[in-house]
Structure 1
Amino acid sequence: MLATTLDKHVKSGAWCVQLRYRYIASHKVFTSSRFSLDAGAACFRDRQHADAMSARFTLGTTIWIRYDPLSPEKALILPTALGVPDILMALFALLVLLAGAFVLTGKTARRPG
Protein backbone atom coordinates (compact mmCIF):
# COMPACT_ATOMS: atom_id res chain seq x y z
CA MET A 1 0.00 0.00 0.00
CA LEU A 2 1.43 3.34 -1.02
CA ALA A 3 -1.17 5.84 0.18
CA THR A 4 -4.64 6.14 1.64
CA THR A 5 -6.64 9.36 1.56
CA LEU A 6 -10.13 10.28 2.66
CA ASP A 7 -12.21 12.76 0.65
CA LYS A 8 -15.71 14.15 1.13
CA HIS A 9 -17.74 14.49 -2.06
CA VAL A 10 -19.57 17.81 -2.17
CA LYS A 11 -22.68 16.68 -4.08
CA SER A 12 -23.41 13.40 -2.30
CA GLY A 13 -21.84 14.18 1.07
CA ALA A 14 -20.24 10.73 1.02
CA TRP A 15 -16.82 10.04 2.49
CA CYS A 16 -14.69 8.11 0.01
CA VAL A 17 -11.50 6.20 0.69
CA GLN A 18 -8.94 6.62 -2.08
CA LEU A 19 -6.18 4.03 -2.24
CA ARG A 20 -2.95 3.88 -4.19
CA TYR A 21 -1.03 0.62 -4.35
CA ARG A 22 1.83 -1.00 -6.22
CA TYR A 23 1.94 -4.59 -7.48
CA ILE A 24 4.07 -6.84 -9.65
CA ALA A 25 2.60 -8.77 -12.57
CA SER A 26 4.37 -10.38 -15.50
CA HIS A 27 7.70 -9.26 -14.00
CA LYS A 28 6.68 -5.60 -14.24
CA VAL A 29 5.75 -3.10 -11.52
CA PHE A 30 2.34 -1.40 -11.80
CA THR A 31 0.58 1.25 -9.73
CA SER A 32 -3.19 1.48 -9.39
CA SER A 33 -5.88 3.21 -7.38
CA ARG A 34 -8.83 1.05 -8.39
CA PHE A 35 -10.67 -0.44 -5.44
CA SER A 36 -13.50 -2.38 -7.00
CA LEU A 37 -15.67 -2.80 -10.09
CA ASP A 38 -18.21 -0.59 -8.29
CA ALA A 39 -17.03 3.01 -8.29
CA GLY A 40 -18.84 3.72 -5.00
CA ALA A 41 -17.61 0.65 -3.14
CA ALA A 42 -15.30 2.64 -0.89
CA CYS A 43 -17.74 5.50 -0.23
CA PHE A 44 -19.74 5.86 2.97
CA ARG A 45 -22.29 8.34 4.28
CA ASP A 46 -20.82 8.04 7.76
CA ARG A 47 -17.27 9.24 8.41
CA GLN A 48 -16.74 6.50 11.01
CA HIS A 49 -17.26 3.77 8.39
CA ALA A 50 -14.86 5.49 6.03
CA ASP A 51 -12.28 5.80 8.81
CA ALA A 52 -12.66 2.09 9.60
CA MET A 53 -12.12 1.17 5.93
CA SER A 54 -9.15 3.51 5.72
CA ALA A 55 -7.62 1.91 8.83
CA ARG A 56 -7.61 -1.48 7.08
CA PHE A 57 -5.28 -0.10 4.40
CA THR A 58 -2.45 1.72 6.14
CA LEU A 59 0.84 2.64 4.52
CA GLY A 60 2.97 -0.44 3.94
CA THR A 61 0.12 -2.94 4.41
CA THR A 62 0.30 -5.97 2.14
CA ILE A 63 -2.96 -6.45 0.24
CA TRP A 64 -4.29 -9.04 -2.19
CA ILE A 65 -5.37 -7.88 -5.62
CA ARG A 66 -6.84 -9.32 -8.78
CA TYR A 67 -5.49 -8.32 -12.16
CA ASP A 68 -6.26 -9.17 -15.76
CA PRO A 69 -3.45 -11.43 -17.06
CA LEU A 70 -4.03 -10.11 -20.59
CA SER A 71 -3.89 -6.49 -19.37
CA PRO A 72 -1.93 -6.57 -16.10
CA GLU A 73 -2.26 -2.80 -15.70
CA LYS A 74 -5.96 -3.42 -14.86
CA ALA A 75 -6.23 -4.41 -11.20
CA LEU A 76 -8.54 -4.12 -8.21
CA ILE A 77 -8.34 -5.00 -4.54
CA LEU A 78 -9.39 -8.49 -3.50
CA PRO A 79 -11.33 -8.52 -0.22
CA THR A 80 -9.49 -10.60 2.37
CA ALA A 81 -12.36 -12.74 3.60
CA LEU A 82 -16.06 -13.38 3.34
CA GLY A 83 -18.16 -11.92 6.12
CA VAL A 84 -21.24 -13.34 7.82
CA PRO A 85 -23.62 -11.34 5.56
CA ASP A 86 -21.93 -12.82 2.49
CA ILE A 87 -22.39 -16.37 3.76
CA LEU A 88 -26.01 -15.77 4.81
CA MET A 89 -26.83 -14.29 1.41
CA ALA A 90 -25.27 -17.29 -0.35
CA LEU A 91 -27.31 -19.69 1.80
CA PHE A 92 -30.49 -17.72 1.11
CA ALA A 93 -29.78 -17.81 -2.63
CA LEU A 94 -29.24 -21.57 -2.45
CA LEU A 95 -32.57 -22.06 -0.65
CA VAL A 96 -34.41 -19.95 -3.24
CA LEU A 97 -32.74 -21.93 -6.03
CA LEU A 98 -33.75 -25.25 -4.49
CA ALA A 99 -37.33 -24.05 -3.87
CA GLY A 100 -37.55 -22.83 -7.47
CA ALA A 101 -36.28 -26.14 -8.80
CA PHE A 102 -38.81 -28.00 -6.64
CA VAL A 103 -41.68 -25.84 -7.93
CA LEU A 104 -40.59 -26.13 -11.56
CA THR A 105 -40.34 -29.90 -11.50
CA GLY A 106 -43.96 -30.04 -10.40
CA LYS A 107 -43.37 -32.66 -7.77
CA THR A 108 -45.86 -32.54 -4.95
CA ALA A 109 -46.24 -34.69 -1.90
CA ARG A 110 -48.78 -37.46 -2.34
CA ARG A 111 -51.18 -38.33 0.37
CA PRO A 112 -51.99 -41.95 0.92
CA GLY A 113 -55.54 -43.00 0.30
Structure 2
Amino acid sequence: MPQPVAKVLAQNEAETDKKKDSLTKKNRDMKNLSELTKIAHEKRDVQALLYMHHILHDIDYWGFLKDGDKPKGIDFWGVSETAPQNDKDNRADIAKYLAKN
Protein backbone atom coordinates (compact mmCIF):
# COMPACT_ATOMS: atom_id res chain seq x y z
CA MET A 1 0.00 0.00 0.00
CA PRO A 2 1.48 3.38 -0.99
CA GLN A 3 2.47 5.81 1.75
CA PRO A 4 0.78 9.21 1.96
CA VAL A 5 2.70 11.88 0.10
CA ALA A 6 3.12 14.01 3.23
CA LYS A 7 4.77 11.12 5.05
CA VAL A 8 7.19 10.44 2.19
CA LEU A 9 8.07 14.14 1.94
CA ALA A 10 8.67 14.33 5.70
CA GLN A 11 10.94 11.28 5.55
CA ASN A 12 12.89 12.74 2.63
CA GLU A 13 13.26 16.06 4.45
CA ALA A 14 14.50 14.31 7.60
CA GLU A 15 17.08 12.33 5.58
CA THR A 16 18.24 15.51 3.83
CA ASP A 17 18.60 17.33 7.16
CA LYS A 18 20.61 14.42 8.57
CA LYS A 19 22.95 14.47 5.54
CA LYS A 20 23.39 18.25 5.81
CA ASP A 21 24.18 17.96 9.53
CA SER A 22 26.71 15.21 8.84
CA LEU A 23 28.38 17.33 6.15
CA THR A 24 28.48 20.35 8.47
CA LYS A 25 30.18 18.27 11.17
CA LYS A 26 32.74 16.95 8.71
CA ASN A 27 33.38 20.49 7.47
CA ARG A 28 34.02 21.66 11.05
CA ASP A 29 36.48 18.79 11.55
CA MET A 30 38.32 19.72 8.35
CA LYS A 31 38.41 23.39 9.40
CA ASN A 32 39.84 22.44 12.80
CA LEU A 33 42.42 20.21 11.14
CA SER A 34 43.41 23.02 8.79
CA GLU A 35 43.84 25.48 11.66
CA LEU A 36 45.81 22.95 13.71
CA THR A 37 48.07 22.26 10.72
CA LYS A 38 48.81 25.95 10.40
CA ILE A 39 49.61 26.24 14.13
CA ALA A 40 51.80 23.13 14.08
CA HIS A 41 53.73 24.43 11.08
CA GLU A 42 54.11 28.07 12.08
CA LYS A 43 54.70 27.59 15.81
CA ARG A 44 56.25 24.12 15.71
CA ASP A 45 53.69 23.20 18.37
CA VAL A 46 53.52 19.49 19.19
CA GLN A 47 50.13 19.86 20.93
CA ALA A 48 48.59 20.87 17.61
CA LEU A 49 49.92 17.65 16.07
CA LEU A 50 48.47 15.59 18.93
CA TYR A 51 45.06 17.19 18.50
CA MET A 52 45.23 16.53 14.75
CA HIS A 53 46.05 12.90 15.42
CA HIS A 54 43.13 12.56 17.85
CA ILE A 55 40.64 14.05 15.38
CA LEU A 56 41.83 11.87 12.49
CA HIS A 57 41.89 8.79 14.70
CA ASP A 58 38.29 9.30 15.83
CA ILE A 59 37.09 9.91 12.30
CA ASP A 60 38.95 6.87 10.98
CA TYR A 61 37.85 4.47 13.72
CA TRP A 62 34.42 5.82 14.63
CA GLY A 63 33.20 8.40 12.11
CA PHE A 64 32.16 6.25 9.19
CA LEU A 65 30.51 3.29 10.86
CA LYS A 66 27.40 1.93 9.22
CA ASP A 67 24.64 0.20 11.15
CA GLY A 68 26.00 -2.98 12.65
CA ASP A 69 29.66 -2.10 12.03
CA LYS A 70 32.10 -2.43 14.88
CA PRO A 71 34.83 0.15 15.45
CA LYS A 72 38.35 -0.71 14.26
CA GLY A 73 39.74 -0.28 17.78
CA ILE A 74 38.89 0.63 21.32
CA ASP A 75 40.70 3.98 21.55
CA PHE A 76 38.32 6.91 21.43
CA TRP A 77 39.24 10.53 22.05
CA GLY A 78 35.79 11.98 21.32
CA VAL A 79 37.26 15.16 19.82
CA SER A 80 35.79 15.17 16.34
CA GLU A 81 32.46 16.61 15.35
CA THR A 82 31.90 13.61 13.09
CA ALA A 83 32.20 11.11 15.96
CA PRO A 84 31.64 13.22 19.07
CA GLN A 85 31.73 12.23 22.70
CA ASN A 86 28.59 13.15 24.61
CA ASP A 87 30.26 15.24 27.33
CA LYS A 88 32.02 17.59 24.84
CA ASP A 89 34.94 18.20 27.25
CA ASN A 90 37.61 17.07 24.83
CA ARG A 91 36.16 19.09 21.96
CA ALA A 92 36.03 22.10 24.27
CA ASP A 93 39.76 21.67 24.98
CA ILE A 94 40.52 21.88 21.26
CA ALA A 95 38.23 24.89 20.84
CA LYS A 96 40.04 26.69 23.68
CA TYR A 97 43.40 25.77 22.20
CA LEU A 98 42.40 27.10 18.77
CA ALA A 99 41.03 30.32 20.26
CA LYS A 100 44.28 30.83 22.20
CA ASN A 101 46.47 30.25 19.16
TM-score relative to the length of structure 2: 0.24
More strand by share: 1
| Structure of larger gyration radius | 1
TM-score (norm 1): 0.22
